[in-house]
Amino acid sequence: MRDFLDDRPLKLRRERPGDRGYWRVILLAIGLVLAGSLLIVLDRQGVITPARLSAREALQPLMGWLMARRIELETWWATPRDVVAMQNRIAELEAENARLTGEVLRLEQARVENIFLRQQLSITRSYPWKVLGAEVMARAPEAARRVLTIARGTEDGVQVGMAVIGQQPGGPPALVGVVETVGARTADVLMITDISSQLSVRLLQPDGAPLGLMQGQWQRGSRLRVELIDRNAALRVGDHVVTAGLSGTLNLPLDLAAMPAAVPIGSIETVQQEGQRQIGEIRPFVDPDQVRYVWVILSQDE
């Protein structure tokens, strides 16, 4: 009997190798479906909304970082890596930058010219003058005579002896100098503050307009001073000083014959007595050292 059993091998029943794994997959799928259905139901009821929002806020920085990296990658991919192409692109950008810079400068110059034209229009509306605008090109050295050069000359109708005015914000157009020498396209203007500048002026007072002589005093530490010709008249602080225009009135062949009357100059700031003489210090309406643009009075209406 033993020999018989030894000769016939026993066949034991074994489980099929794939049965257990198959059922696990099925159970896992069923669990996921049930969990998903439960989450959908809870989300519709608003139970898990706070948790979902919190998770989104927590992941927002990561999403932003990923978005930035994507943009950088797209930019890098779009950037030409060919040397010639990059050089051409740089040249194009430099040319565009130069064009835009020139356009900005042109617009700025137009803005400045517009300001000066508005000032000129205001002057011609308020005073009987025909004026010509001019840029100040240069000034004499500090230790020399007070002279400025303007970019207008005989080709523009400028003549020796013509009055040159300027205007500062908040003040009237006022005398800054007289044309001293003139060329075809430029002219030198002697400032009224120079010690060699002398003009006949009038003081506007309630009871009259006494005549005086004004002289520049820049080299002596002050700008302008005036002395009345009539010793019986009195200087008063606050009196306005204007040009007398005597040369033009008398029709004399002098350099100052083109100087019109009633051009504002300034006002009396202080008065001092020197023996029988009264000397008035004038505060000019326009500082000749500060002007960058002026107007030449070519003529005035009769």
Contact 194, 211 (CB under 8 A): no
Partners of 215 in the β-ladder? 198, 225
Please indicate whether residue 193 or residue 116 has the higher confidence score (pLDDT): 193
Look at residue 81 and tell me whether its pLDDT is greater than 80.
no
- Cβ atoms within 10 Å, residue 255: 15
| Secondary structure (DSSP) of the chain | -HHHHHHS--------TTHHHHHHHHHHHHHHHHHHHHHHHHHHTTSSHHHHHHHHHHHHHHHHHHHHHHHHHHHHHHS---HHHHHHHHHHHHHHHHHHHHHHHHHHHHHHHHHHHHHHHHHHHHSSEEEEEEEEEEE--TTS--EEEES--GGGT--TT-EEEE--TTS--EEEEEEEEE-SS-EEEEETTSTT-EEEEEEEBTTB--EEEEEE-GGGT-SEEEEESSTTS---TT-EEEE--HHHHHT-SSGGGG--S--EEEEEEEEEEETTEEEEEEEESS-TTT-SEEEEEEEE--
Question: pLDDT tens digits for 183-236?
Answer: 999 999 999 999 988 899 999 998 889 999 999 988 777 789 999 888 788 889
Residues 108, 113, 117, CA angle at the centre, nearest 5°?
150
Q: Tell me the whole-structure pTM to 2 decimals.
A: 0.62
Please indicate whether residue 153 or residue 25 has the higher confidence score (pLDDT): 153
Percent of the chain with pLDDT over 70: 82
**Of 1-10, 81-90, 141-150, which one has max mean pLDDT?**
141-150
Q: Quick one: pLDDT band at residue 134, thresholds 50, 70, 90?
A: very high
Look at residue 302 and tell me whether its pLDDT is greater than 80.
no
Mean pLDDT of 50-61: 74
Give SS3 for 5: helix
Look at residue 55 and tell me whether its pLDDT is greater than 50.
yes
Q: Quick one: pLDDT band at residue 58, thresholds 50, 70, 90?
A: confident
Q: What sign results for the dihedral spanned by CA atoms 91, 93, 95, 97?
A: negative
Residue type, 273: Q
Average pLDDT, the chain: 81
Measured CA to CA, the distance from residue 215 to residue 212 in angstroms comes to 10
In the prediction, which pLDDT does 162 show?
A: 92
Look at residue 9 and tell me whether its pLDDT is greater than 80.
no
Residue type, 159: Q
In the prediction, which pLDDT does 36 show?
A: 73
Mean pLDDT of 241-259: 67
Please indicate whether residue 42 or residue 243 has the higher confidence score (pLDDT): 243
Question: pLDDT tens digits for 275-290?
Answer: 778 899 999 999 998 9
Mean pLDDT of 14-38: 71
Q: Are strands 264-274 and 277-284 parallel, antiparallel or unpaired?
A: antiparallel
